[in-house]
């Protein structure tokens, strides 16, 4: 079906309007969403923008920012205590400090890939003689499903190791740190949950224009145009370009479930460090399903990246994947060194998929 949001002429015309609005002044916009990075790279949108307008990827890949120490702790739980670990496929190959869950599985540990937490709960109900821990990662997009399952009351042999993270505190952390960011493209999926209003305080406190965007080429270009126009007018607002899916207050049912199941905590972001108020831990009645408490897992950080890997700089938008000396040489999706090359939402994996290097390496 034809979608105006994919119309190349409209996309090109919008690029011309961006050039007019930016008026030759440097404009550095950050997005914080793996799917946005995929859409921008897949559709060649960076190539359409004028040289003075730069769109960089920030920490928008939840797998990439999951601390290596958490992966180590779950490997140990599976290997030494025979606990079944369930998680999403992307997480398996992410290197911890001492190995990955895929390696633990290869050595005999019971690590299972699930499509969602409800699959893990179902397994726990069926195998009552085993202990199950679900490794719950993701931003506000996946946290509500974790909340709902825990509120429903899973069986006693099931618990959750929560590594959910919140996007607005990470955006604030970057702005506070003085990173050169002139505006944000706010993540579409996360915004369907938290709403466009969730960014208004940030936009006005830091005087940064923001736009919530969908995932089609025109969505993203319109968001960039709006940010450029806001700057030209000297305002810093939140424009909701993705109004067909995102409402101002967000999804009240999902937000209520999150509020009931979780309380906000500080969290370690791999490659970035501790960000205040950016994590979620189980609260109240739900805390009896907290795997960290059940198995005595102390706070596990492990924010550093594997040796030689520049994922920390990639996640902060200060280095393009192609600028990492290992990109496409020592580090490929088949043999990843850092987490940004593992996940399908990782900036390095996306860049590799569409890079000349990959095309050259596949030629006979």
Give the interface with ligand SF4 as residue ranges (CB under 6 A).
309-311, 314, 321, 324, 326-327, 331, 337-338, 340-341, 348
Least spacing, CB of residue 350 vs ligand SF4, in Å: 11
Rounded least distance, CB 67 to ligand SF4, Å: 15
CA distances from 31 to 8, 238, 265, 332 (A): 22, 14, 24, 24
Looking at the Cβ atoms of 135 and 327, the one nearer to ligand SF4 is: 327
What is the C-alpha separation between 58 and 181, in angstroms, rounded?
10
- Minimum CB–partner distance for residue 61 and ligand SF4 (Å): 11
Is the Cβ of residue 183 or residue 336 nearer to ligand SF4 in the bound state?
Answer: 336
SS3 of 28, please? strand
Q: Which residue is nearest to ligand SF4 (CB)?
A: 338
Nearer residue to ligand SF4 within complex by CB, 265 or 355:
355
* Shortest spacing between CB 302 and ligand SF4, in angstroms: 16
Q: Are strands 273-282 and 262-269 parallel, antiparallel or unpaired?
A: antiparallel
Nearer to ligand SF4 (CB atom), residue 248 or residue 273: 273
Burial class (CB in 10 A: 0-12, 13-18, 19+), 103: middle
- Alpha-carbon distance of 139 to 164, in angstroms, equals 6
CA angle 212, 198, 190 (to 5 degrees): 55
Toward ligand SF4, which CB reaches closer, 254 or 341?
Answer: 341
Q: How far is the CB of 329 from ligand SF4 (least distance, A)?
A: 9
Query: Which C-beta is closer to ligand SF4: that of 282 or that of 337?
Result: 337
Give the containing element (helix H, strand E) for 177: none
CB of 321 to ligand SF4, least distance (A): 5
CA-nearest of 341, 343, 337 to 358 is: 341
């Amino acid at each position: 079906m034809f979608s105006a949001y994919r119309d190349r002429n409209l996309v090109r015309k919008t690029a011309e309007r961006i050039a007019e609005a930016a008026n030759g002044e440097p404009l550095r916009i950050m997005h914080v969403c793996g799917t946005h990075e995929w859409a921008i790279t897949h559709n060649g949108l960076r190539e359409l923008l004028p040289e003075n307008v730069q769109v960089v990827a920030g920490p928008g890949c939840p797998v990439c920012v999951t601390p290596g120490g958490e992966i180590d702790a779950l490997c140990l739980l599976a290997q030494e205590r025979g606990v079944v670990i369930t998680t999403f496929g992307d997480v398996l190959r992410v290197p911890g400090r001492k190995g990955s869950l895929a390696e633990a599985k290869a050595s005999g540990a019971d690590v299972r890939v699930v499509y969602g937490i409800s699959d893990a709960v179902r397994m726990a109900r069926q195998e009552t003689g085993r202990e199950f821990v679900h490794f719950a990662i993701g931003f506000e997009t996946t946290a509500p499903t974790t909340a709902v399952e825990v509120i429903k009351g899973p069986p006693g042999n099931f618990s959750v190791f929560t590594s959910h993270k919140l996007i607005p505190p990470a955006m604030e952390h970057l702005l506070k740190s003085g990173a050169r960011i002139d505006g944000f493209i706010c993540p579409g999926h996360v915004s369907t949950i938290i709403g466009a209003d969730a960014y208004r305080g940030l936009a006005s406190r830091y005087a940064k224009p923001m736009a919530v965007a969908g995932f089609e080429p025109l969505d993203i270009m319109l968001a960039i145009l709006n940010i450029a126009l806001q700057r030209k007018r000297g305002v810093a607002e939140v424009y909701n370009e993705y109004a067909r899916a995102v409402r101002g207050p967000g999804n009240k049912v999902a937000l209520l479930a999150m509020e009931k199941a979780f309380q906000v905590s500080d969290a370690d972001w791999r490659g970035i460090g501790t960000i205040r108020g950016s994590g979620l831990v189980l609260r109240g009645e739900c805390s009896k399903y907290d795997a960290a408490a059940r198995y005595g897992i102390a706070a596990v950080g492990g924010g550093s990246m594997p040796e030689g890997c520049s994922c920390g700089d990639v996640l902060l938008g200060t280095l393009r994947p192609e600028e990492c000396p290992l990109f496409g040489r020592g580090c490929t999706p088949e043999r990843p060194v850092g987490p940004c090359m593992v996940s399908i939402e990782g900036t390095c994996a996306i860049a590799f998929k569409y890079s000349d290097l990959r095309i050259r390496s596949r030629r006979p």
